[in-house]
A and B are shown apart, each in its own frame.
Chain A
Amino acid sequence: MSTKLWSTSYYVLAGGLAVLFLFPLIWTGYASVAPAGATNQQDGFGFGNYASLLDYDAGLGRYLWNSTYVSVLTVAFTLALSVLGGYAFARFTFRGKDTLFIVTLAILMVPYSTLLIPLYSMLGDLGLRNTLTGLALVLTLYQLPFAVFMMRISFEAVPKEIEESAMCDGAGTFGVLTRIMLFAVWPGLITVGLFSFLAAWNDFIAPLILVSEADKAVLPVAIANLRQQSMGAIDFGATQAGVVVMALPCLVLFALLQRHYVRGFMSGAIKG
């Protein structure tokens, strides 16, 4: 086959696929502002669908706050646990070290739904059911295998000499961690933070099961419920406006932190 023909067919195929992948994304942005029957955007283009989200039930502001609160709390829990744990696994020997590491990774083997049934009952006993804090703790659990693994290899990659010279200057292990190691592992911190934020922001089944009060709903659950509103008629315009609101932070984070995305996948590939 001639080079010219090869090159043309390459771009036809690659470009055609790009159109197919981008089309639904462009369509949802368009549909959220385009006029349509049975929506709040009847004449011409505008933000009527977003306005109906603002007034829907507890209001978009409330759901945005709930989602942000849960996501930030999940990131904080995940970072705190994985920094301390990763430091311990990378730099210390202690009894039960290997067992603890394997049990932490074993979380990946257990399906979400298997744990949500007993967690629903347990959170009730602990007074954490129907709370955003309880939800964040459960979301943290599923971030832990990746986060602890990632922080362990991040700490292991730091040269030991840096630490030893600080030790000689009289710093304790905690001082070494906070004053030196944290700065050396910051790419790992960003990757763990990014992935746990996205996972918490987008999770659906855990908040669906663990949080039933309407004004504590997170965005995905609230938007999914929105469809059953307004006397059986589905407000498709408001639904697509909701999709855009949920997608925007993800797209912004992707644009800002592209390199860290790939870094996370790379460590996934290493695991395999």
Chain B
Amino acid sequence: MRYSRKLAGALYAAPVAVFVLVFFVAPLLLVGRMSASDWPLLAGDLGINMPDNYAGIADNPLFWPAVGFTLKYTGIVVVLLIGLSLLLALIVADRRKGTGFFRTAYFLPTTLGLASASLLFFGFYSPAIGPLDPLLEALGADPVSWLGTPTAALWSTVVLIVWKFAGFFMIILLVGLQSIPPDVYEAARLDGANRWQSFRHVTVPLLRPALGLVLILSVTGSLLAFDQFFILTKGGPDNSTVTVVQLIYREAFQRFDLGAAAAISVVVLAALVVINIGQLRALRKDHQ
């Protein structure tokens, strides 16, 4: 009756293995093949056309603007998110009256889905029912077109994203803060360090692993931005807020060219792997 444990282990792992093979490894190979093929959405595979799809990327008038916009958006979001979530984590780190309430308040937007949050702000920024214009009016200011100009659309989306994710990153940094032993602060205080000095020379270095995780998650998430721009700005005004992933979506499902979409997808994957390896290396070097 007793079969070998090796066989049993392989049997328990088999469903995961089959699933990963079918839904991860196979599509990964297929996207490579699609990127090298003439593959219209409806007609399907029409054979290899290498290197047309890749050559076409550089000719796509939206590609470089989309790359530029995605990088600019990522830079702004990452700086603001790390700054604000660190501030929030420091606010709620020490147990005092009200921190439980503050933690919950900052975290609540995280419980919403990104699409829900984007739809919420779609109304929030609208002149029809949004609360901002009446508020400005009460203060004697003119109404603002929150999504009407490229700059306004970018910053309005940044506000949505920072609102939605700051509480999430706050929790990660909070876990990091709480893992710093109290006697390190005590030692710094005995050495005569003030609040700022002990933050700068004790907290920040010891928080490095948590900050590194926040950096990688926020960079990756922002580079792959889609929902917020698809729902809030639809890439507008004048295609000024088209991100790289939106470009993939447009090539595939509005211009019906799966081959071109696959080629951009492969380039994005390669870029992301390089960026993540670069970030991990930099963090590790810093650490030593």
Contacts and interface: CB of A to CB of B under 8 A. Distances in A.
Contacts of B202: none
A233 B276 CA distance: 43
A9 to B, nearest CB: 11
B46 interface: no
A81 B15 CA distance: 6
B128 A37 contact: yes
A52 interface: no
A111 B15 contact: no
Interface in B3-48: 5-10, 12-13, 15-17, 19-20, 23-28, 30-31, 34, 39, 44
Given A18-B106, A85-B12, A201 B19 contact: no
Interface in A192-236: 198, 201-205, 208-209, 220, 223-224, 227, 234, 236
Contacts of A205: 226-227, 230, 245, 249
Interface string A233-272: 0101101101100110011011000000110011011011
A168 interface: no
B55 interface: no
B144 interface: no
B111 interface: yes
A36 B113 contact: no
B151 interface: no
A178 interface: no
B24 A24 contact: no
Interface residues of B, number: 85
B181 interface: no
Nearest to B228: A204
Contacts of B10: 88, 92, 94-95
A243 B119 contact: yes
Given A97-B13, A113-B249, A239 B123 contact: yes
A269 B108 contact: no
B268 A114 contact: yes
A177 B123 CA distance: 50
B143 to A, nearest CB: 16
Interface string B193-229: 0000000000000000110110010000000101100
A158 interface: no
B31 A117 contact: yes
Contacts of A242: 119
A85 B11 CA distance: 9
A115 B31 contact: yes
A100 B20 contact: yes
B256 to A, nearest CB: 12
B260 to A, nearest CB: 10
Contact of B23 (A22, A24, A94, A137): A137
A202 B163 contact: no
Given A224-B115, A240-B129, A117 B20 contact: no
Interface in A13-29: 13-15, 17-18, 20-22, 24-25, 27-28
B111 A104 contact: no
A75 interface: no
Given A85-B16, A97-B9, A110 B112 contact: no
B80 interface: no
B139 interface: no
A58 interface: no
B214 to A, nearest CB: 8
B70 interface: no
Contacts of B122: 227, 239
A88 B109 CA distance: 37
A150 interface: no
B71 interface: no
Contacts of A201: 113
A127 interface: no
Contacts of B226: 113, 204-205
Nearest to A252: B111
Contact of A272 (B163, B171, B210, B268): B210
A121 B30 contact: yes
Contacts of A111: 224, 245, 265, 268-269, 272
B261 interface: yes
A262 B171 CA distance: 7
B149 interface: no
Interface of B: 1-2, 5-10, 12-13, 15-17, 19-20, 23-28, 30-31, 34, 39, 44, 88, 91-92, 98, 101-102, 105-106, 108-109, 111-116, 119-124, 126, 128-129, 131, 163, 166-168, 171-172, 175-176, 209-210, 212-213, 216, 224, 226-227, 230-231, 245, 248-249, 252-253, 258, 261-262, 265-266, 268-269, 272-273, 276
Given A17-B91, A111-B268, A114-B266, 8 more contacts: A17-B88, A21-B106, A27-B124, A85-B13, A88-B13, A94-B6, A117-B261, A247-B112
5 contacts: A115-B27, A148-B16, A203-B115, A205-B226, A240-B129
Closest 7 CB pairs between A and B? A202-B113, A92-B9, A272-B213, A88-B12, A85-B16, A118-B30, A94-B9
